[in-house]
C-alpha cells in the first residue's frame, strides 16, 4: 500500500463523511422546514380563526345596531301616528259647526259642579258667544288661542282646565294603549 492508496482511502472516507454530513444536514433542514411549515399553517389557522371571530362579532354588532335603529324608527313613526290622531281630533272639534260647539261647551260646563259656589269661566273671545248663560257662572274673556275654557272658584284657589289642548293632554295617556291596539294591533 502506497501513498496513493492511502490518499485514495482518505478521500473516499472523506467523501463518505461529507455525504453523511450532507445527508444529515438535508434531514435536519427537512425537519426544520417541516416544523416551520407546520408553524406557518398553525399561525395562519389562528389568524383565520381570529378574523372569523372578529368578523362574526362585527356582523352581530351591525345587525344589532340596524335592528335597534329600525325599532327606534318604528317607535318614532308610531308616536307620529298617535300624535296625528290627536291633531286630527282637535281639528275635527275646531271644524264643528257652531251649534255642535255650543253643545260641547255646555257639556264641558257641567264640570262647574266640581267647584262649590259661584265660578268664573275664562274663555277665548271668539268662543264667548257660544257659551250658554248658566246660574252661578261669571264669564270673562281673554285671548287664549284654544277652544274651551278654564273654570275657577271666585277666589281662584280651585280651577279646572277645560281647554281642548289640556283635555286632549289629559286623556292621551289613558287612551294611548287603546289607540296602539287599534292602530298597530298591539295589546
* pLDDT, tens only, 32-78: 999 998 999 999 999 999 999 999 999 999 999 999 999 999 999 99
- Domain span holding position 39: 1-95
| Mean pLDDT (the chain, rounded) | 88
Let me know if 41 is exposed, middle or buried by CB neighbors in 10 A (0-12, 13-18, 19+). Answer: exposed
What pLDDT shows up at residue 1?
61
- Domain tally, the chain: 2
Q: Do 50 and 140 have their domain in common?
A: no
Asked whether 166 and 148 are in contact (CB, 8 A), the reply is: yes
What pLDDT shows up at residue 9?
83
Residue 116 or residue 83, greater confidence: 83
Residue 172 sits in a domain of what CATH number?
3.30.2320.30
Q: Do 61 and 109 have their domain in common?
A: no
What pLDDT shows up at residue 138?
86
Q: Do 85 and 116 have their domain in common?
A: no
Residue 2: pLDDT over 80: no
Amino acid at each position: 500500500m502506497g501513498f496513493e492508496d492511502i490518499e485514495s482511502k482518505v478521500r473516499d472516507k472523506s467523501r463518505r463523511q461529507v455525504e453523511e454530513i450532507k445527508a444529515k444536514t438535508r434531514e435536519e433542514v427537512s425537519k426544520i422546514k417541516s416544523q416551520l411549515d407546520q408553524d406557518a399553517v398553525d399561525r395562519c389557522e389562528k389568524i383565520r380563526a381570529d378574523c372569523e371571530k372578529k368578523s362574526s362579532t362585527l356582523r352581530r354588532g351591525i345587525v344589532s345596531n340596524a335592528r335597534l335603529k329600525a325599532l327606534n324608527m318604528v317607535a318614532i313613526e308610531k308616536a307620529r301616528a298617535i300624535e296625528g290622531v290627536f291633531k286630527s281630533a282637535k281639528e275635527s272639534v275646531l271644524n264643528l259647526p257652531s251649534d255642535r260647539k255650543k253643545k260641547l261647551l255646555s257639556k264641558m260646563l257641567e264640570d262647574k259642579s266640581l267647584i262649590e259656589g259661584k265660578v268664573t269661566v275664562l274663555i277665548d273671545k271668539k268662543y264667548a258667544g257660544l257659551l250658554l248663560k248658566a246660574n252661578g257662572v261669571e264669564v270673562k274673556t281673554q285671548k287664549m288661542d284654544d277652544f274651551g275654557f278654564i273654570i275657577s272658584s271666585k277666589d281662584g284657589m280651585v280651577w279646572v282646565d277645560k281647554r281642548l289642548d289640556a283635555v286632549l293632554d289629559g286623556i292621551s295617556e289613558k287612551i294611548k294603549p287603546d289607540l296602539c291596539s287599534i292602530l298597530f294591533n298591539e295589546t
